Amino acid sequence: MNQSKITRLLAHFIVPVIFSITGYLILFVAFKPYIEMASSVASIFRAGDPGDTKAPAETIYDPNAAPAQVRGGDEDPYIHVNDMELPSTGVQYGRLYCEKIGLDAPVYWDDTYEILRQGAGQYIGSFLPGYGRMILLSAHNNSHFRPLKDMQIGDVIQFDTNYCNYEYEVYHIQVYDETELEQWIRAHLLDEEEVLVMYTCWPFEFQAGRKTKRLTIFAHRISGYDVKWRNVDEIE
């Protein structure tokens, strides 16, 4: 086989492969934010046996510890971000309570499959309580979020964190298709309103195949301090 034939064969097979790999890399970079969002939001879709529920050793939440320092006086009380310990991936930083329905769930930063076996996981693209934006939590419907089936509008949820205790009042309950919920989250994630959003698989009864609907609870904050950033010369 002469050199020209070998060159043509290499061009015929190798060049398309190079272009294909390049194309996949471009698409991956372009759609990476959406892939990460979909992966995180989709983590609750696997609502099987929660398995071992032994809590991870690492936590920054202590219900008996003193809250973070409150600045600003009576007229403008707030917690400065420098006065609070921020959670890292897989660390428990709070707990959800609602005595009326029997809700009692540890809250972890991130919502991987392993975290959801331990309690409620927070999507890390959402915000901590007090930040004035969406707080997005998920958990399995056969364990920590099973009490949500009895939640009603007007119910109050206590959200204790390692820096402050908050309360949220339920104002809306809706069942979404999983795709519809994902679209809603993308559209409202950065809204300048503090809303606690909790979702889990629906229905709660056994269903053959994968469940594609999500019971979603919306609650607005009714107590607790804002978390703020301020210039150094403004800090007391």
Q: Are 126 and 189 in contact (CB under 8 A)?
A: yes
- What pLDDT was estimated at residue 28? 45
Instruction: State pLDDT tens for residues 120-151.
Output: 999 999 999 999 999 999 999 999 999 999 99
* Beta carbons within 8 Å of 65's beta carbon, 6+ residues apart: 162
Mean pLDDT confidence for 222-229: 96
CA distance 203 to 217: 14
Q: Are 191 and 134 in contact (CB under 8 A)?
A: yes
Helix axes 3-42, 178-188, angle to 10 degrees: 90
- What pLDDT was estimated at residue 206? 80
DSSP-assigned letters across all residues of 123-154: -TTS--TTSSS-EEEE--TTTTTGGGGG--TT
Mean pLDDT confidence for 10-36: 49
- What pLDDT was estimated at residue 53? 45
Question: Lowest-confidence range among 34-43, 74-83, 162-171?
Answer: 34-43
**Domain covering 43-233: architecture:** Beta Barrel (2.40)
Q: Check whether 182 has a pLDDT greater than 50.
A: yes
* Beta carbons within 8 Å of 92's beta carbon, 6+ residues apart: 55, 56, 58, 59, 60, 61, 106, 107, 108, 118, 119
